[in-house]
Amino acid sequence: MKFRAVVLVFANIVAVIILLYFLELFGIYSAYSSLKDRLPGKVRQAAVMRIDDPALIEKEEQAKMIESLQMKETDLAAWEADLKIREEAVLKDAGKTAEEKQQIIEMRKAFELEKQQRESYQEKVRKLADQYSGMPPDKSAVIILGLKDDLLILDVLKGMDQIAASKGQSSIVPFLLTLMPPEDAARLQRKSTVD
For residue 38, the enclosing domain spans 2-48
- Per-residue model confidence (pLDDT) at position 20: 84
Question: Which residues of the chain carry a pLDDT beneath 70?
Answer: 36-54, 94-96, 194-195
Q: What is the pLDDT of residue 95?
A: 62
Confidence at residue 46, expressed as pLDDT on a 0 to 100 scale: 46
**178 and 114 housed in the same domain:** yes
User: 0.75 exceeded by the pTM?
Assistant: no
Please tell me the distance from the alpha carbon of residue 185 to that of residue 177, in angstroms, as a whole number: 5
Does residue 53 lie in a domain region?
A: no
Q: Are residues 102 and 183 in the same domain?
A: yes
On whether both 41 and 72 belong to a single domain, the answer is: no
Q: In this structure, are 178 and 85 located in the same domain?
A: yes
pLDDT of residue 161: 85
For residue range 164-191, list pLDDT tens digits in order.
Answer: 888 888 888 888 888 888 888 888 888 7
